[in-house]
Copies of this chain bind each other. A is one copy, B any other.
């Protein structure tokens, strides 16, 4: 169990109050969040700072972007040991069309996808849309 400080330092991310708060916010969420979600949670902070903070997190490899088809990019913390940067982010994402939440299904890996001759696959984005467990019960 590492502290947040240790996680950030291990990725060469300098520690600031803002970053600790945003990291904690992301860690507490079980769903992917939009920039607006973060904005609403930290009304005193400027949107640009929040934007650049998650961007830094993403660049350093502790957050990954999710395009779930809503047109609004969402963000989620990477799992321990994840390396989205190097190879494709292997897990799939679920987007609930009822509650609009998007969830990382981190242990549902994306199957190998065949592409025609001449095509070279480098990355795969797989989003399943439907009804989540909470909305279907």
Chain A residues within 8 Å of B, Cβ to Cβ? 67, 69, 71, 73, 92, 94, 97, 105, 108, 111, 113-134, 136-137
Count of identical protomers in the assembly = 2
Interface centre among A94, A115, A134, A136 (most CB of B within 10 A): A115
- Are the C-beta atoms of A124 and B123 separated by less than 8 Å? no
Contacts of A71 in B (CB 8 A): 67, 71, 73
Q: Which residue of B lies closest to A68 (CB)?
A: B125
Contacts of A92 in B (CB 8 A): 113
Q: Which residues of B contact A94 (CB under 8 A)?
A: 115, 119
Nearest chain B residue, comparing its CB with the CB of A93: B125
Q: How far is the CA of A117 from the CA of B108 in the complex (A)?
A: 12
